[in-house]
Amino acid sequence: MLKAARWTVVGLLAVSVLVLVFAIGYVRGDAGGDGSPPANAASASAATDFSNLNQIIQILQSRYVDQGKLDRQTLYQAAINGMLQTLSDSGVFYVDPNTVKTTVGPSGTFDGIGATVSSQSNQIVIVAPIAGSPAERAGIKPGDIIEAVDGESTAGWTQEKAVLKIRGPRGTKVQLKVKHVDGREETLQIERGAIKVASVNTQPPGGVLKDGAGDTITDIGYIQIREFTETTDNEMQTALKDVVSTGKKGLILDLRNNPGGLLRTTRDVADEFLNNGTILTEQERDGSKTTYTATPGGAATDIPVVIILNRFSASGSEVLSAALHDNGRATIVGEKSFGKGTVNVSNNLKDGGQLYVSIAKWLTPKGKQIDEVGITPDVPVALSNDDIDQQRDVQLFKAIDILRGTNVAPVATPSASTVGTPAAATTAAAGSTPAAAPTAGG
């Protein structure tokens, strides 16, 4: 259980809107993270006169020829981001107030109606309702168009605006005017609820695990971890017990597009596979180190494991991969990972935003620093454009081959129903969440 005053997260910031699950890097939020500078920072800050920034904005507002391009808040945020970008550190970043409001926190839950949405052709379109959510119970379907929220037209709305309008405290109601795919229109009163975003998925791409020849595989387990939230370890225990109890001879752990999550959860998940050994070491800026080690009694300490990574696997997923690999518990397949190895502290700002600052680095069990380096797989396998077009998940096929001790060549043109879209083909930017990279949820 995480204490309110202190919580720890691992991963990249997923700049998200509604259902995008939090993923803020290997972040450690400490008590007193209110943005107040430490005492020894006073003299340094006094040497710089930041009033020049206000003067620049005032000059622009009074003299710039194209006043329509000026927005004080945009200029303000650009100044912050410009300052932070000079550090060239992916662990140092500013989160604007609206993103803070619409990002799912470390609990893996948020209050809303439970539907992912996107902005298409100036319309707010339902991508999918979350199973068991108020949206699903109200009859909302993929492809439905939200025409109005509480009587206000959504024409021209951004995802962010839709999210801010639709989300709200559980128990409150929101009125949606919906145009269904069949053309039927209706106005729905939906009571918002607590929406749980599952972090663990046991259904492989395409719904059934198949090898490169298209044959169904029943003796190997498959688990995808989307991110590490407060519930991930419990979800993993359930999934792992099923894998072990059904006599699977191996497990594929799919960490593609996983941007990270809670540090404690990441350690707990690693511990499910280890009886002993180092999980990771945290190195402070003064050189001091804290080492986290495994304890006996995990749910899957004997089953062979193959981990799949891609270039969007970051931080928490890299911690887990290195822990299992360096302790001889897993083979890694796929692409070199993102390379996020810093420890960050979160600070709440007066404007409602947040500032994350790198304060330490973490090391693999073998003492390696992976920041801006990444983890190189034992068996490199990249998805070609043809693989993506043909929905041919050669990384998954290779993982199966390794666990079975075979080398089954993929069929030339598998159907979509045979393989499904590889996870690596669905994300376009580092830090995105695998299930909802282009979407937002309510």
- In-domain check, residue 130: yes
Phi-psi region of 378 (alpha: psi -120 to 50; beta: other; left: phi over 0): alpha
Give CA–CA dist 46/56, Å, rounded: 20
The answer to whether residue 83 scores a pLDDT higher than 50 is yes
- In-domain check, residue 35: no
CA 193 to chain centre: 22
Give CA–CA dist 286/380, Å, rounded: 36
**Residue of 326, 387, 393, 401 marked catalytic:** 326
- In-domain check, residue 237: yes
pLDDT of residue 265: 92
CA angle centred on 18, ends 111 and 202, rounded to 5°: 90
Over residues 112-158, the pLDDT tens digits come to 999 988 888 899 999 889 889 999 999 999 999 999 999 999 999 98
- In-domain check, residue 170: yes
User: Helix crossing, 316-326 with 263-271: angle to 10°?
Assistant: 30
Please list the residues that pair with 123 across neighbouring strands: 120
Q: Choose the final residue of a domain: 166, 196, 226.
A: 196
Q: Choose the final residue of a domain: 168, 196, 224.
A: 196
Give CA–CA dist 27/225, Å, rounded: 19
Domain around 119:
109-196
Active site residue 71: no
Q: 10 Å Cβ neighbour count for 331?
A: 18
Active site residue 49: no
Q: What average pLDDT is seen over the chain? A: 82
- In-domain check, residue 27: no
Over residues 368-413, the pLDDT tens digits come to 999 999 999 999 999 999 998 888 999 999 999 999 987 655 554 4
Give CA–CA dist 130/5, Å, rounded: 31
Over residues 278-289, the pLDDT tens digits come to 999 999 989 999
Residue 423's pLDDT band (boundaries 50, 70, 90)? very low
Q: Are residues 311 and 208 in the same domain?
A: yes
Q: Are residues 313 and 403 in the same domain?
A: yes
Q: Which two tokens stand for residue 300?
A: 């899957």
Over residues 44-81, the pLDDT tens digits come to 555 677 888 889 989 999 999 999 899 888 898 899 99
The answer to whether residue 421 scores a pLDDT higher than 70 is no
Q: Which residue has the higher pLDDT, 437 or 286?
A: 286
pLDDT of residue 90: 80
Give CA–CA dist 95/88, Å, rounded: 16
**Residue of 177, 248, 340, 398 marked catalytic:** 340
DSSP output for 195-253: EE---EE-PPTTSS-B-TTS-B--SEEEEEE--B-TTHHHHHHHHHHHHHHTT-SEEEE
Q: Are residues 163 and 216 in the same domain?
A: no
Active site residue 340: yes
**Residue of 315, 337, 346, 358 marked catalytic:** 315
pTM for the model stands at 0.76
**What's the domain count of the chain?**
2
Over residues 5-47, the pLDDT tens digits come to 223 333 332 223 233 333 334 555 443 355 555 555 545 555 6
- In-domain check, residue 182: yes
The answer to whether residue 197 scores a pLDDT higher than 70 is yes
Q: Choose the final residue of a domain: 162, 196, 230.
A: 196
Q: What percent of the chain clears pLDDT 70, i.e. is strictly above it?
A: 81
Q: Which two tokens stand for residue 158?
A: 């951004």
Which residue reads 């662990």 in tokens?
Answer: 91
The answer to whether residue 4 scores a pLDDT higher than 50 is no
Q: What percent of the chain clears pLDDT 90, i.e. is strictly above it?
A: 56
CA angle centred on 433, ends 382 and 321, rounded to 5°: 55
Q: Which two tokens stand for residue 184?
A: 């039927």
Q: Are residues 238 and 326 in the same domain?
A: yes
Cβ atoms of residues 362 and 282 within 8 Å: yes
